[in-house]
Chains A and B, each alone.
Chain A
């Protein structure tokens, strides 16, 4: 094969052929970004908990309490899996994890309602997952509010017109709108940020493995001691370009294919997406190159990068509300492209924000890209000097 004229292409070709030959790297740069999003999307595809089994302790045993239970059972959130005669029995079911909540209707339920007094229904939730509490609470409160309106209108206000009845039922109407996530589920909330995190982590692992491999092959140097590797800019650009281009493909695979296959919201315009992916992937690539220069064995990068994923997700303020993240950890998070990238992507793709709406994040990504690019240049300058020194000694 003829050697290309420009060193940048030489570096580019070298890096590409290295990647293709190495199955360890291929796992992280091809398999991981292709398969992981599908797996995650499938896990969260059900969006929310439906028909959660709960049990009922009906001490009132009246037609009215049975009506209440029937309505609870009819909700999509929970299903009444058992009727118990005592709390002890219900607790036993809960301990065996056959049911995840207990609805208790008191003995005086009917009597109090007939007397026009307030009665209290007890809901005991298993907190194995916060979601259990949420769906049970919603289901029971919705039913209770519904019944309350009926009771208020039908039993306490007689001789009224249909319109008066309507107004008495709902003196103020309220409208609840879940924006950008109509199902109110987990997939639309968690998958988009996870996609972006996968991009960054896969990039770090791929770059780290390839640089660790160079170090092992060239006795501690990240560049081969040949004449093409004398120009810092060419090396940094050439190496970066391989990963950048590959992951640009992956990014669009995630933003277009995965998003469409699983019906996730995608409100972004092509140019907005591109305008975000360019700085994000540049920042990720050069961050990966910079941090990987501290790695001396290729396997070390798995140790270093893998478990960062979970903390980075929390630092980004997407899963745990950003307004509740303490300043110190905001500062720590701000040195990682993912913190800015996750937020920007969620807004651009999920909420239809324009680049202008996330200018802070985009600017931060460009700044990070520039800083990590310069740092990578310094590292390579230093490495070239080391390589030259070594060849002089030999």
Chain B
């Protein structure tokens, strides 16, 4: 046993030396993840994008419509960068990508409203830009609804109703929405702290296959096997341990930045999240190792598999488009990705602060991903003995 530990130490030291000789390792393993942390956190600093550019087509141009548009202009998401009298002009601006929405008040709106002839106002959102369109739509819809209410209120006030009575008439049922865990609808809370660890997990998968494959490529796999005392597990642990340590430090740093510096909601406490981060690192390494065992000694194939699957995990994890909305085969497929399980554990623990027993299956999946490759390690033993690198 002592012997094995000593071998692990020797192999790890050799691995660290090989990192220091190749700048690409340092770029990919340290600079890139920290760069992504910087990039995404500054990209989504505002949390919810506000003041999105829109166009106002006020064909009516009366004091009433101006009042209406002033209110819309003061709303959170909307900023009118363009005011025009022609719808075509606004549509062209939309096609040029300058605006995401058009709010249109046709000629005669005021007159029709005052004479009870039901004018129609319309708003157009460009739903090829989904987030922007959804946010603008919310504002415009609220305003249109309010415009109607305002008119009824004026009529009722004139008839002598009190304000309480009026509200009970024009809006008897009020919906009070409570977005749980993320009351400000901060996109950063559900994107930055999943995309950035997700990218790290992709890097982990790739570098795991890369580091192992390097041995075959340099034709040193036999040397490594001898160094490990002809024990596969010693060789793997020795090779991957330096990465485990490094990546764990990085993901802990992420946790500190997200939950301590940016104060993202973390109901379970930072140490707990760090523990899940560590488990995610292990599961990603397991995933990479599994891919390498699927194509033993074939660095390129295993890295291709890791990259093709690894990029998909951002879609299949379900934090942008929910897994529950996908077709059934993809719902099953999503379960092979560590990011999917990490995401559900994060939501349960940090965002909602529920008991861990509700996501025990996801925790188990992460553990399983870390353990599973050890069952197939015999494939690596064979590869150590018989497999050569093919250019």
- Further pairs besides A24-B300, A128-B351, A172-B151: 12, Cβ < 8 Å: A122-B176, A123-B176, A123-B178, A144-B174, A174-B122, A175-B123, A176-B125, A177-B124, A302-B303, A314-B195, A346-B128, A352-B95
* Residue among A45, A172, A175, A178 with most chain B CB within 10 A: A172
Are A42 and B45 in contact (CB-based, < 8 A)?
Answer: no
User: Is A249 at the interface (CB under 8 A from chain B)?
Assistant: no
For B348, the chain A residues whose CB sits under 8 A away are 95
Selecting from B11-19, B314-322, B379-387, the interface stretch reads: B314-322
Q: Sort chain A's interface into a size bin.
A: 35 or more
Contact A306:B354 (CB < 8 A) given known A127-B182, A172-B147, A329-B43: no
Are B113 and A172 in contact (CB-based, < 8 A)?
Answer: yes
B201 to chain A, nearest CB (A): 10
User: Is A32 at the interface (CB under 8 A from chain B)?
Assistant: yes
Contact A176:B137 (CB < 8 A) given known A39-B312, A352-B95: yes
* Residue among B127, B198, B310, B348 with most chain A CB within 10 A: B127
For B322, the chain A residues whose CB sits under 8 A away are 49, 128-129, 131-132
- Considering only residues 95-141 of chain B, those with a C-beta below 8 Å from chain A are 95-97, 100, 109, 113, 116-134, 137, 140-141
B87 to chain A, nearest CB (A): 11
Per-position 1/0 for A116-134, Cβ under 8 A of B: 1111111111111111111
B91 nearest CB neighbor, chain A only? A179
User: Is A190 at the interface (CB under 8 A from chain B)?
Assistant: yes
For B195, the chain A residues whose CB sits under 8 A away are 310, 314
Contact A304:B24 (CB < 8 A) given known A39-B312, A351-B126: yes
Are A147 and B173 in contact (CB-based, < 8 A)?
Answer: yes
A198 to chain B, nearest CB (A): 10
Are B217 and A299 in contact (CB-based, < 8 A)?
Answer: yes
A285 to chain B, nearest CB (A): 20
User: Is B187 at the interface (CB under 8 A from chain A)?
Assistant: yes
Selecting from B46-54, B230-238, B367-375, the interface stretch reads: B46-54
Are A351 and B176 in contact (CB-based, < 8 A)?
Answer: no
For A389, the chain B residues whose CB sits under 8 A away are none
Contact A299:B210 (CB < 8 A) given known A95-B354, A167-B118, A177-B123: yes
User: Is A358 at the interface (CB under 8 A from chain B)?
Assistant: yes
User: Is A231 at the interface (CB under 8 A from chain B)?
Assistant: no
For B49, the chain A residues whose CB sits under 8 A away are 320-321, 323-324
A279 to chain B, nearest CB (A): 17
For A148, the chain B residues whose CB sits under 8 A away are 170-173
For A318, the chain B residues whose CB sits under 8 A away are 129
B25 nearest CB neighbor, chain A only? A303
A96 nearest CB neighbor, chain B only? B358
B327 nearest CB neighbor, chain A only? A46
Per-position 1/0 for A37-79, Cβ under 8 A of B: 0011011111011101000000000000000100000000000
Are B177 and A123 in contact (CB-based, < 8 A)?
Answer: yes
Are B132 and A152 in contact (CB-based, < 8 A)?
Answer: no
Are A303 and B175 in contact (CB-based, < 8 A)?
Answer: no
For B364, the chain A residues whose CB sits under 8 A away are none
For A170, the chain B residues whose CB sits under 8 A away are 118, 148
B22 to chain A, nearest CB (A): 9
Contact A134:B52 (CB < 8 A) given known A176-B141, A177-B124: no
The one of A112, A188, A315 in contact with B128, judged by C-beta atoms closer than 8 angstroms, is A188
Are A124 and B178 in contact (CB-based, < 8 A)?
Answer: yes
User: Is B207 at the interface (CB under 8 A from chain A)?
Assistant: yes
For A383, the chain B residues whose CB sits under 8 A away are none
For B354, the chain A residues whose CB sits under 8 A away are 95
